Amino acid sequence: MDEQINVERHTTAKSLVLHLLPGLLILVFYIVGARFSGRLGLPTLFFLYLATVLVMIPFELGYMLFLGKRETGRFSLKGIVLYREATPWWQYLVLILPMLVWAFVLLSYISGPLDRFVFRSFFQWLPRWFRLNPGDADGYAKATLLILWGFYLIANISGALVEELYFRGFLLPRISHLGFWAPLMNAVLFSAYHFFTPSENISRILALLPMVYVVWWKRNIKIGIILHCGGNAVGMFILLQQLLS
């Protein structure tokens, strides 16, 4: 059964707004918090994850639930979040393992030098307080760092889950009429929505494209959820090592 028969198609303008607006709201919250992080005695990274909890999740999840309420009379994601088609378990292995290898190669050998080059070439004008830097947590007691990291972990994983529901389960199906270009548009706009790390856009798009195309091809957001949440979890344990070193 085609779950998209009666689904509204988004115009390019509407899709642009719905992809980028939550990122702009996150950016405003982050700028206000990061600008005064020194005075408040908190690392700038804290305000990014606080924005995830107070801005991103309420906006993205709330908007989808609002649409569900309007269409079904109750707060539900049914009919709003699509791409729920079944995939045999062995296909998860076949599809996900190559993407994990690609992510490892990208993170190990490409993204670091590429991001630094882009930053030095185009974004060195950004004020120091704006830049995400795990090192700005230096000097905090280990107990404090562990509490902060626990908050980061919860915000990061829950944020990734909501992002996959919103960007791949809600927005991507509604531009599927664009055919092969739909995943590219979704990946580029999702990367751009991270306004707080503009120097990472190229490497982020390279990392996203295989996943988004597979989700679109298989019409299965579970693939994106597994990769996104799993990747974020690995990143958080790397961050923990950096914080405690």
3-state secondary structure of 237: helix
Whether residue 19 contacts residue 190, with contact meaning beta carbons closer than 8 Å, is answered with yes
CA 117 to chain centre: 23
What is the pLDDT at residue 135? 61
Q: What is the pTM of this model?
A: 0.95
Please count the helices (runs of H) and the strands (runs of E) in the chain.
10, 0
Percentage of the residues of the chain whose pLDDT score is greater than 90:
81
**pLDDT, average across residues 48-61:** 98
Residue predicted with more confidence, 29 or 140: 29
Domain ranges in the chain are 12-244
**pLDDT, average across residues 47-65:** 98
Among the ranges given (110-119, 124-133, 152-161, 193-202), the one the predictor scored with the smallest mean pLDDT = 124-133
Question: 133-185, pLDDT tens digit by residue?
Answer: 766 666 778 888 899 999 999 999 999 999 999 999 999 999 999 999 999 99
